[in-house]
Chain A
Amino acid sequence: AQSVAQPEDQVNVAEGNPLTVKCTYSVSGNPYLFWYVQYPNRGLQFLLKYITGDNLVKGSYGFEAEFNKSQTSFHLKKPSALVSDSALYFCAVRDMANTPLVFGKGTRLSVIA
């Protein structure tokens, strides 16, 4: 069975600084990896995904993530944080095309002006 760990409940970063939100995963086959963002009282918005190909994937709003197979990680990054990036971020994984996503518990990102 697949699982996702987001080790940090909260990440605080100053505006303009780089940010990293951590994610590690466990699957039995090749992973399909995703990041979603949830703003207060809103649904989940898709940010980016890794299915195959380049280990560095770029997504919406300037976010990117790096797939590291040996460390089973898929950390979310952004070079320069904005206050408007403050939200709840979810990492998700599945191991086969037809299985539903399994989500991590979420990491709350707070960007301070």
Chain B
Amino acid sequence: AQSVTQLGSHVSVSEGALVLLRCNYSSSVPPYLFWYVQYPNQGLQLLLKYTSAATLVKGINGFEAEFKKSETSFHLTKPSAHMSDAAEYFCAVRGGSQGNLIFGKGTKLSVKP
């Protein structure tokens, strides 16, 4: 069975600092992995996805994630945080052939001026 663990329910960084949000997965099959962002009172927006092509995946808004099979990780990074990055971020793994997603519990990112 697939599962996702996000380390850290809250992460706080200063504007301009590196953003690192951690995600580890468990999957019995080659995983399809996703990062979504949720701004306050809004739905989820796809940041990026890994579908077994390149291990370094670039997404929107300057975010990227690297798939590391040996570490079962898919951490999300951004070199320089912006105030507008403040949001909640969810890592997810595809749960089955019907496409349902299994989500981590989310990491709330705060950006200090």
The answer to whether A binds B is no
Q: State the A residues within 8 Å of B (CB).
A: none
